[in-house]
Copies of this chain bind each other. A is one copy, B any other.
Amino acid sequence: MTNKESAGDFGERKLVELIIKKSEIFQTKYFDKKSLKSHIGDDAGVIAVGNKYLILSSDMLIEKHHFPKEMTYHQRGFKAVTVNLSDIAGMGAYPIGILISLAIPKNLNINKFNNLLDGILEACSFYNTPLIGGDTNEGNELIISGTGIGLSDDENIMMQYGFKNKDLIAISGEIGLSAIGFEILNKDSEKTKKRLIENGVSSEFIDKTITKILSPRAKVEEGTLLKKSQAVTSATDITDGLSTELHQIHNSSVKHDNKSLGFIIYEDKIPHINTIKKIATLLKKDHLDLTFNFGEDFELLFTIDPNKINEFKEHFKDKEYHIIGKVNQTNKIQLSTANKKIKRIDLKGYEHFK
């Protein structure tokens, strides 16, 4: 580290690593670990309160990074709640409250502000989670910073680690669709849609991608259901793309001494992969990049004990899920492509600054 480096040179991931490392050093120095009932958890902070566990997660959305300009203010408000509750869902807790702080540009039209507020409050109703506080300030750009509070009735919080060799890797829904929706909006969207339809992509599929980027929903019910299943060995929410999350849960597992475990993901098991491939070609994008490195789908990534798969199928029968891979002992994160080649899945999740 030199004196002249900026936060931008460093990049977001490294800044976060720096924060976590420093926090650990500080907290080891100042707090008695055994008596400390709060800590930085996997996806969220954890606090023991009596015999229950609180799960707390903060996410900050910033105008130019997180809100495509086509997103209405109502959708922006809704998304802010969704993002914060997705982390709670990833740990299998049920949300019990949310706080939202706003930085509002001085010249924001009051009707837009009202729409933003309606979006926040309708999301609170949708997720059955009351708004319990926040702050409002004038800022240069629209920023919505939230903290979601979840409750786990027992100590058995779903962790990112916990998977074993041969476990099945699953996702709670479609991935890569938000990325496609984003690309369509980013171009001349009407023209692009027309071209995709002329090339055989259904308008329903296109609409779905637009809905996924503009109106994402967190899998809160699915999260609490996963927690109740004995078959589920680990879980997390996919915020920053599947590649980032796979690396994240791998690191988490390595930290817990499972040094040899690796993952294989089967390209042909990814939902709609052929349609994604066709669209990617038409948009001159790499379909694997869209599928693995974008994020914003707010699905859950979890692992299932293969010996308990029937139990799981019964338990989760009303919900969507896709088994896309397996845990193995390669200590590598790999993709088996449609033409049966093995590729490394690099850590390339969506990152600001760079």
Contacts and interface: CB of A to CB of B under 8 A. Distances in A.
Given A97-B56, A130-B27, A133-B56, A7 B138 contact: yes
Interface stretch (A42-50, A213-221, A277-285, A286-294): A42-50
B49 A99 contact: no
- Residue picked from A7, A36, A122, most chain B C-beta under 10 Å: A7
A201 B106 CA distance: 39
Given A52-B49, A113-B7, A103 B27 contact: no
A1 B23 CA distance: 47
A38 B110 CA distance: 28
A233 to B, nearest CB: 24
B352 A121 contact: no
A139 interface: yes
A46 B113 CA distance: 26
B49 A54 contact: yes
Nearest to A15: B136
Contacts of A136: 12, 15-16, 19
Contact of A135 (B60, B125, B131, B141): B60
Given A49-B50, A50-B49, A10 B121 contact: no
A341 interface: no
A339 interface: no
Nearest to A51: B50
Nearest to A8: B106
Tallying the copies of this chain within the complex gives 2
Contacts of A36: 130
| Interface size, A (range) | 35 or more
Nearest to A126: B30
Contacts of A7: 104-110, 113, 138
A136 to B, nearest CB: 5
A270 interface: no
Contact of A103 (B62, B110, B131): B62
Contact of A110 (B6, B30, B97, B104): B6
Give the top 3 A-B pairs by smallest Cβ distance, nearest first: A45-B132, A8-B106, A145-B145
29 contacts: A3-B109, A6-B108, A7-B113, A7-B138, A8-B138, A12-B137, A15-B113, A16-B136, A22-B117, A22-B118, A30-B125, A30-B128, A31-B130, A40-B132, A40-B133, A45-B99, A47-B149, A49-B49, A50-B50, A56-B133, A58-B100, A59-B135, A60-B103, A60-B137, A60-B143, A65-B137, A101-B145, A135-B145, A139-B143
Given A1-B110, A7-B108, A145-B145, 19 more contacts: A6-B108, A7-B106, A12-B138, A15-B104, A22-B117, A23-B131, A29-B125, A56-B133, A57-B99, A58-B99, A58-B100, A58-B145, A59-B101, A60-B145, A62-B137, A101-B145, A106-B353, A138-B353, A140-B141
